[in-house]
Amino acid sequence: MVRRGFLKEVGLLYALHLGGNLLGFFTLAYLARILGPEEYGRVAFAQGLTAYFLLLVGYSFDFSAQRRAANLNSPQELAQLMAEILGGRLFLVGVSILILGLLSPLSSVQKTWDLVLPFFGIVLAQIFHSGWLLAAKGWVVLPQVLEFLQRVVVILGLLLFTREGENGKVYALLMGSSALLSSGVSFFLATRFLGLVPVYPRTRGTFTALREGWWLFLSQGGGTLLVGGNPFLLGLFAPSEAVAQYAVAEKLVLTISALFQPLFRSLYPRFAVRAQEERPSLLALGRKAFFLFGGLGLGLALGLFFSATWAVEIVFGPGFAEAALLVKGLTPWILASALNTALGMLLLVPLGHDRPFTLALLGAGALHWGLVFLLAPKCAGMGVAGALGGAGLFLVLVQALFLYLREGFSPFAHPNRHGDLDS
423: Cβ contacts below 8 Å, ≥ 6 apart: 412, 413
Beta bridge partners of 421: 415
pLDDT at 3: 52
How many Cα atoms within 13 Å fall on the side-chain side of residue 313? 4
What are the pLDDT digits (tens) for 226-276? 877 788 888 878 888 888 889 889 988 988 888 887 778 778 777 777 666
| Angular region, 408: left φ>0, alpha ψ -120 to 50, beta rest | left
Tens digit of pLDDT at every position of the chain (423 positions): 445 566 677 677 778 877 877 787 788 778 888 888 888 888 888 888 898 898 888 887 877 787 788 777 788 888 888 888 888 899 999 999 999 999 888 877 888 898 999 999 999 999 998 888 888 787 878 888 888 899 899 988 888 887 655 578 889 999 999 999 999 999 999 888 888 887 887 777 778 878 777 777 776 777 777 877 788 888 878 888 888 889 889 988 988 888 887 778 778 777 777 666 666 677 778 888 888 888 999 999 999 999 988 888 887 877 888 889 999 999 999 999 999 988 888 888 888 787 888 888 889 989 999 999 999 888 888 999 999 999 999 999 999 999 888 878 877 765 544 444 343
Beta bridge partners of 422: 414
Say if residues 348 and 222 touch (Cβ distance below 8 Å). Answer: no
Q: Where are the alpha helices (DSSP H) in 59-140?
A: 61-69, 75-103, 107-110, 113-125, 131-136
Say if residues 168 and 35 touch (Cβ distance below 8 Å). Answer: yes
pLDDT at 166: 57
> Closest Cα partner for 121 from 98, 93, 163, 151?
93
What are the pLDDT digits (tens) for 349-372? 888 787 888 888 889 989 999 999
Q: How many CB atoms within 10 Å of residue 245?
A: 28
- Cut 0.85: pTM above it: no
Beta bridge partners of 142: none
> Closest Cα partner for 281 from 409, 397, 396?
409
How many Cα atoms within 13 Å fall on the side-chain side of residue 293? 31
